Amino acid sequence: MCANYELPTPRHLRLSLQTLEPTFSYAGEAYPGSRAVFVTAGETKTADFSPWPGVFGLLPAWARDDKLARATYNARSETVAEKPSFRQAWKARRFCLIPVQSIFEPSYESGQAARWRIAHRDAEPFFLAGIWEEAQRQEQPLWSFSMLTINADSHPLMRRFHKPGDEKRSVVVVPQERWRDWLYADGREARALLQPFDPDAFMASPAPRPARKSAGVEVAKDDPAV
């Protein structure tokens, strides 16, 4: 399950979507509860794509504490229609695209957790299947989103990550030619689009966190994604 990812720059996002650059700022990396960006489309299938600021971690309207985002950043496709945090967004067909430059996952192949970076071989941004929600905070709208995940036990690339013995999970990469199909899908169509991505189109490499100084001594900080 992905808890940390790198975002495309506003320029790269504009070029990928062929739309205007976001008018809001966002950080280069996202973690559960942080502000990032997601993409929707208008009322018709020919409408422009629209980047929106949102919290990484779905916050349903009934959520009283925004800390819930730390537990709702990924939605299992098998249960998304039933889980209280996600079912309303799914039922309302609030499907979105999540722009990503790379995702980070923990590898245990060395016997210890190590952060790895997974990116497209052409170094271009890619877009993940997600759901979004709107809540009200002090009479202001608060948007949030979650990544949909699928089983990856047999995926040649994604099965390499997470703890030994745990179920392997993967995000869903939506190909460019299916972006609008995803955004305007009904429930049946959406489920049909939740497919494994082509492992040959992506590459993975170690990405340890930069060392940080602690009490005058550099300490390697490696906090792999959950």
Q: Which two tokens stand for residue 71?
A: 């537990």
Predicted pLDDT of residue 216: 39
Does residue 221 register a pLDDT over 80? no
Mean pLDDT, residues 50-57 taken together: 96
Q: What's the whole-number average pLDDT of the chain? A: 91
**Residue 47 confidence class, pLDDT cut points 50, 70, 90:** confident
pTM > 0.85: yes
Does residue 14 register a pLDDT over 50? yes
DSSP for 86-137 reads THHHHHTT-EEEEEESEEEEEE-TTSS-EEEEEEETT---EEEEEEEEEEEE
Mean pLDDT, residues 1-8 taken together: 94
Does residue 97 register a pLDDT over 90? yes
Does residue 54 register a pLDDT over 60? yes
Cα–Cα distance, 41 to 126 (Å, whole number): 17
Cα–Cα distance, 195 to 69 (Å, whole number): 25
**Residue 211 confidence class, pLDDT cut points 50, 70, 90:** low
Over residues 131-187, the pLDDT tens digits come to 999 998 888 999 999 999 999 999 999 999 989 999 999 999 999 999 999 999 999
Task: Count the alpha carbons within 13 Å of 107 in the hemisphere toward its beta carbon.
Answer: 17
Q: Give the N- to C-terminal CA distance of the chain in Å, as an integer.
A: 7
For residue 226, what are the CA distances in angstroms to 56, 113, 116, 168, 183? 14, 10, 12, 12, 27
Three-point CA angle 45, 147, 224, nearest 5°: 150
Predicted pLDDT of residue 215: 40
Over residues 162-171, the pLDDT tens digits come to 899 999 999 9
Instruction: Return the domain boundaries, the chain.
Output: 5-220
- Report yes or no: 57 and 67 within 8 Å, Cβ to Cβ: no
Does residue 220 register a pLDDT over 70? no
DSSP for 25-48 reads ---SEE-TTSEEEEEEE-SSTTSP
**Residue 45 confidence class, pLDDT cut points 50, 70, 90:** confident
Predicted pLDDT of residue 217: 35
- Looking at 1.10.10.1100, 3.90.1680.10, 4.10.95.10, 1.10.10.60, the CATH number of the domain 5-220 comes to 3.90.1680.10
Does residue 1 register a pLDDT over 80? no
Closest among 73, 54, 80 to 3, alpha carbons compared: 73
